[in-house]
Amino acid sequence: MRDFFVSYGYPLKILDDAWNRVFKISRTDALIPRPEQSSRRTKLTMAYHPHNLVARKIVFNNLSILQAAPDAGEVFDEPPLVVYRRAKNIRDILVRSRISASHDS
């Protein structure tokens, strides 16, 4: 596996340090799930689309304007966390996950 990462240009020192860190963790410790870290950062949620990457760039380029505004400054005290959700596809449109109960009289 090391050769694979070396072929992609990773420095040997970084690979060796990572290898040594991994072997210090026991298997049982590695299998313990980590608790989720809650974030107070405002979430900017968008459906993923290549054009939405431009919207993200606009928000971050103008973050100082948002932080300078009195009301928005409280919301955007830290940069927003950009979150992408999967856009609907044909399967989502054709297949319903809820079954409606019919009311026969």
**Could you tell me how far CA 23 lies from the centroid of its own chain?**
28
| pLDDT above 80 (res 99) | no
Q: Considering only CA atoms, which of 49, 44, 42, 56 is closest in space to residue 86?
A: 49
C-alpha dihedral, 53 to 51 to 43 to 67, nearest 10°: 70
41-74 pLDDT, tens digit each: 888 898 888 888 888 889 889 889 988 988 888 8
13-41 pLDDT, tens digit each: 999 999 999 989 999 998 999 888 777 88
